Amino acid sequence: MKIVVLGAGVMGTAFTMPIADNGHEVHLVGTHLDGDIIEEIHETGVHPRLRSRVSDRVTPHPIAGLGEAIRGADLVVLGVNSHGVAWAADVLGPLLPPHVPVVMLTKGLHGDGSALRVLPEFFGSRLPGGQAINVMAIGGPCIAGELAARRHSSVVLSGRDPVALRTLAQALRGPYYHVWTSTDLTGVEVCVALKNLYALAVGLVIGLLEQEGIASNGAHMHNLAAAIFAQGLYETAYLVRLMGGRVESVYTLPGAGDLYVTCQGGRNSRMGRLLGLGMPYARAKAEHMPNESVEGAMLAEAIGDTVHAMIRTGALDAGRLPLMLRVIDIVCNGAPVDIPWEAFFRDTE
C-alpha cells in the first residue's frame, strides 16, 4: 500500500515504523508547524523529539508537498493533535479521493455548545459537500517512544465497516504491532479521548505527594491515585453508554488499557503534577510546557462549555461526572485541587 501520514509529531512518526517494516510505501507529511522536524529528518534521518531513526522506507515532505504525496495513495493517516482536526479536514478535503479511507490517530472530542461528538464524525462533517469517506480510528495503550523503539504494542482499529477493518488490520499487523478490530467506533473514541483528561487527574497525585511528602513509614499515595483512576473509568463508562458506545470498550484496551499507560508518565502526568502543586493551569502551561500539547487540558477546554450546557438541559447528569467537572474547573477556572470524594461512585439510576 501507499500510505500517507499527515502530521510529523511523535505519534504520527512512530506509526510509520510498523507500517514501513511491513513493506508499505510510506510518506510522512509535516503540518505547517512541523517544518523543523521534517528538515531534521531530511538532514539526519532522526526525529528530534522521538530521538529515533526514521525508516529509510519513509519519505518526508513539508506541507507544501501534500498534494504530490497523496497522489495514488491507498490510505491516509491523520496524526495531528486534536486542535488540528478541522484544519486537516480543510486541507485534505480538496485532495482526498472518495475511495481512500482515513485512519485517525488523533484523540479527543468535539463540543459545539450543545452536544459532544467523536472526532471521526467531526472530521467527516468538515469535508466539503458531505464527502463520503470511510473514517476509521486507532486507539489503545501505545506510547509513541515505545512504538518507535519497536516494543510490543497492542491497539484497536475501530470503524463502521467490519470487512474494511479486517482488511486494514491485516495490513497493519506486525511482529510487535498487534491490532484487534472493533465496530464500536463511538465507544473506542470516547475512551481514548477521556483517558487524557483522567490521566491528568491521576497526575495531580504526584504534586500532592510532593507537597505532603512521603510518610515516615515510606508510604506514598497509591491508594489516592487508584481511586481517581477507578472513578475515571466509572465516568467514562457513563459517557460511552450515553453516546451510544459499548461498555466493553471501557474495560479493554481503549479504556482501562489506554488510561493505565497514559498514567505512567508523559505530558498529562507532568501537567497534573504542576496543578497538584497548586500552580494555576495558565501559569503552568506558559512557564513549564509552552510548546507542548497537553491533550487532557486541551480536552477540558474543548468540551467544558458544552458539558455544562448539556448538564443545564438535562442531557448530562452532573452527579455521574464529578471528577470530570473538577478537572474542567481546575484547568479552565484555576480552581484549587480538591478531590470530591463524597460524589464518587454514585449510582443515580
Q: What is the CA radius of gyration of the chain?
A: 20
C-alpha cell at position 328: 474542567
Any catalytic annotation for residue 195?
yes
Q: Which of 2, 107, 195, 285 is catalytic?
A: 195
**HEC sequence for 256-272:** HHHHHHHCCCCHHHHHH
CA pair distance 200, 266, nearest whole angstrom? 10
**HEC sequence for 170-213:** HHHCCCCEEEEEECCHHHHHHHHHHHHHHHHHHHHHHHHHHHHC
Residue 179's contacts (CB-CB under 8 Å, 6 or more residues apart) are 138, 154, 155, 156, 157, 169, 172, 173
Contact in structure between 294 and 197 (CB atoms under 8 Å): no
Please, which contacts does 212-219 make with residues 24 or more away whose CB atoms are closer than 8 Å?
none
CA pair distance 304, 318, nearest whole angstrom? 12
E-strand ranges in the chain read: 2-6, 25-29, 46-47, 52-53, 58-61, 75-78, 102-104, 109-111, 116-118, 135-139, 153-158, 177-182
- Identify the CA nearest to 331 among candidates 289, 28, 60, 176: 289
**How crowded is residue 162: how many other Cβ atoms within 10 Å of its Cβ?**
11
Residue 76 phi, psi (nearest 5): -115, 130
CA pair distance 140, 156, nearest whole angstrom? 6
Partner residues linked to 110 by β-bridges? 117
CA pair distance 155, 139, nearest whole angstrom? 6
- Helix and strand counts by DSSP (H, E) for the chain: 14, 12
Catalytic residues: 195
